[in-house]
Amino acid sequence: MEKTRTRFAPSPTGYMHIGNLRTAIFEYLIAKHDNGDFLLRIEDTDQNRKVEGAVDFIYNTLSLCGFKIDEGPFNEGKYGPYIQSERLDLYKKYAHELVEKGAAYYCFCDEERLERLREVASLNKQAFMYDGCCRKLTKEEAEEKIKNGESYVIRQKMPKEGQTVVKDLVYGEVVIDNSVLEDQILLKSDGYPTYNFANVVDDHLMEITHVVRGKEYLDQTAKYNLLYEAFGWEKPIYAHVAMVLGEDGTKLSKRNGDASFMDLYNDGYLPEAIVNYLVLLGWSPESNQEVFSMEELIKEFNPNRISKSSSQYDVKKLNWFNAIYIKNMELDKYVEFVLPFLKEGYDLSGKSEEWIKHLLSIYQSHISYGKQIVDEVKLFFEDEVSLDEECQEFIKQEGIDKTISVFKDEINAISDWNVENITNAINNTKEKAEVKGKMLYMPIRIKVSGIMHGPELPDTIYLLGKDTVLKRLG
């Protein structure tokens, strides 16, 4: 049985959006479930979009997500090079081979003629398709034009009748009418291959067994299959996945302000939580389990359980996942993770390590992402607190003044400032003011912190410090 080999083949454009990363996750899990290989290939045939340093960026992103890249530009195996712009001679060789086989042809139509065809199609409200003008040229005519230095592209010769069947793990057998398939360009006049052609050549030469692509490319796969058949090559197994929609229901895109992986990472989302969330966008396990380690995902992943329906990116659900991962971190690791956000938001000079660690620890169960800590802890860095309308209404209730007065006396009497003595002060207030529950805790919390709900009250009071608490109690 042949070894399972998948590839992630992004363009080096500088960032990785959520939909791209989810495709990479599916490809990785398919390979690793079968103890196979996961390759990284860089598709840089569109040199205009290339961003300096993007390959390092892609490696770093995949590494952060826990992927082991078995072969790629920085760790080449026997199938390299793994950057398409370094494989141009291969594409030329195979494009010309298709011409020899009669499955492709030289096309000499200039941009002016193609533009006229586009205008006609637009006037007729039809999708533009090349009219096959150069298909009629004889071999001798084409060779004469090449000898005269005329610029050309190589186009795939599509059948104009019948149907092509695409077998897909997600959608089953999909039948495409050949009449809708354009004679696509395989090799451009500058010697660069088109995305579609380079993909087929590379996937074959790199012995890729499974290809995961967006559902929107399903029709294009008929062209791929016809190329495989023209070469006499074995086709890979396809899994087309429905797209991830943004929160507004439109296609995810950076232009719409949708987050990329690095946006999320820089805001304090944990890569393992992002991966866990994304894998469940369009795939479901056999059990009701939602939180998975990478090892569990590798064991459980079955591409036959990929959904046919689009899924919607939901930041609330991502926050839920991330909060679970934050809550489960060891305290020291959590402090190390969240401290840079705190440092960026506030001046910590004069604050002891013990104080900072204590502060961060009481919010471990209260934050969904790292950057959120800045808003959550602002009451510890403000001189004054301002009460919202709800808080103001609450502390107007009868008996609250007495509770605050008793509590202030109890706080004043503390000589050794620690959480245990503060807890005792709250309990003493309960007895002396004859209040309990909400009528005990909420007035105290509102007066000292300005909010109705928060982390443990004795810890909050301890961290604020005795002078600040007495000042806020009035």
Residue 143, pLDDT > 80, answer yes
Residue 241: the pLDDT is 95
Residue 347, pLDDT > 80, answer yes
39 touches 203 (CB < 8 A):
no
Report the range of poorest mean pLDDT among 60-69, 87-96, 104-113, 380-389: 380-389
- Written as one string, the DSSP assignment of 274-337 is HHHHHHTSSB--SSS-----HHHHHHH--GGGB-SS-EE--HHHHHHHHHHHHHTS-HHHHHHH
Residue 246: the pLDDT is 83
Distance CA 392, CA 376 (A): 20
Report the range of poorest mean pLDDT among 113-117, 249-253, 367-371, 400-404: 249-253
Residue 49: the pLDDT is 73
Report the range of poorest mean pLDDT among 28-42, 63-77, 151-165, 235-249: 235-249
Task: Give first-to-last CA distance, the chain, whole Å.
Answer: 78
- Quick one: pLDDT band at residue 457, thresholds 50, 70, 90? very high
254 classed as catalytic: yes
182 touches 232 (CB < 8 A):
no
CATH 3.40.50.620 fits 87-241, yes or no: yes
Average pLDDT value over all residues in the chain: 93
Residue 260: the pLDDT is 86
Residue 14: the pLDDT is 74
Topology agreement, domain 329-380 and domain 389-473: no
List C-alpha distances in Å: 294 to 273, 281, 297, 337: 10, 16, 5, 20
Q: Domain locations in the chain?
A: 5-84+244-312, 87-241, 329-380, 389-473
Residue of 367 and 258 predicted with greater confidence: 367
Classify 190 as helix, strand or coil. Answer: coil
Q: What percent of the chain has pLDDT over 90?
A: 81
In sequence order, the 6+-apart residues with CB closer than 8 A to the CB of 143 are none
* Burial (0-12, 13-18, 19+ Cβ within 10 Å), 129: middle
106 touches 137 (CB < 8 A):
yes
- Given the structure tokens 């300005």, which residue do they identify? 450
Residue 300: the pLDDT is 96
Alpha helices in 328-434 (DSSP H): 331-345, 353-361, 372-376, 389-394, 400-412, 419-433
Residue 251: the pLDDT is 77
What superfamily would CATH give domain 5-84+244-312?
A: HUPs (3.40.50.620)
Residue 45: the pLDDT is 81
pLDDT by residue (tens digit) across 194-226?
999 999 999 999 999 999 999 999 989 999 999
Residue 256: the pLDDT is 57
Residue 258, pLDDT > 70, answer no
Both tokens of residue 449? 């912190």
pLDDT by residue (tens digit) across 372-429?
999 999 999 988 888 888 988 888 888 899 999 999 999 999 999 999 999 999 999 9
**8-state DSSP, 205:** H
430 touches 416 (CB < 8 A):
no
Distance CA 13, CA 24 (A): 16
pLDDT by residue (tens digit) across 183-197?
999 999 999 999 999
List C-alpha distances in Å: 67 to 11, 24, 28: 18, 9, 7
Provide the CATH number for the domain formed by 389-473 in this structure: 1.10.10.350
pTM reported for the whole predicted model: 0.90
Distance CA 118, CA 112 (A): 10
Question: Quick one: which of 279, 281, 261, 285 has its CA closest to 271?
Answer: 261
Distance CA 112, CA 124 (A): 19
Q: Which long-range contacts (CB under 8 A, 24 or more apart) does 230-236 make?
A: 230/98, 230/101, 230/103, 230/104, 231/94, 231/97, 231/98, 231/204, 233/204, 234/204, 236/203, 236/208, 236/209, 236/210, 236/211
pLDDT by residue (tens digit) across 38-61?
999 999 887 777 778 888 999 999
451 touches 407 (CB < 8 A):
no
* Rg for the chain, CA atoms, rounded: 31
Provide the CATH number for the domain formed by 329-380 in this structure: 1.10.8
Residue 255: the pLDDT is 59
Residue 253, pLDDT > 80, answer no
Residue 17, pLDDT > 90, answer no
In sequence order, the 6+-apart residues with CB closer than 8 A to the CB of 337 are 268, 270, 326, 329, 370
Residue 1, pLDDT > 70, answer no
- In the set 101, 160, 167, 254, the catalytic residue is 254
Q: What is the mean pLDDT of residues 24-47?
A: 94
pLDDT by residue (tens digit) across 260-285?
899 999 999 999 999 999 999 999 99
Classify 168 as helix, strand or coil. Answer: strand
Residue 254, pLDDT > 70, answer no
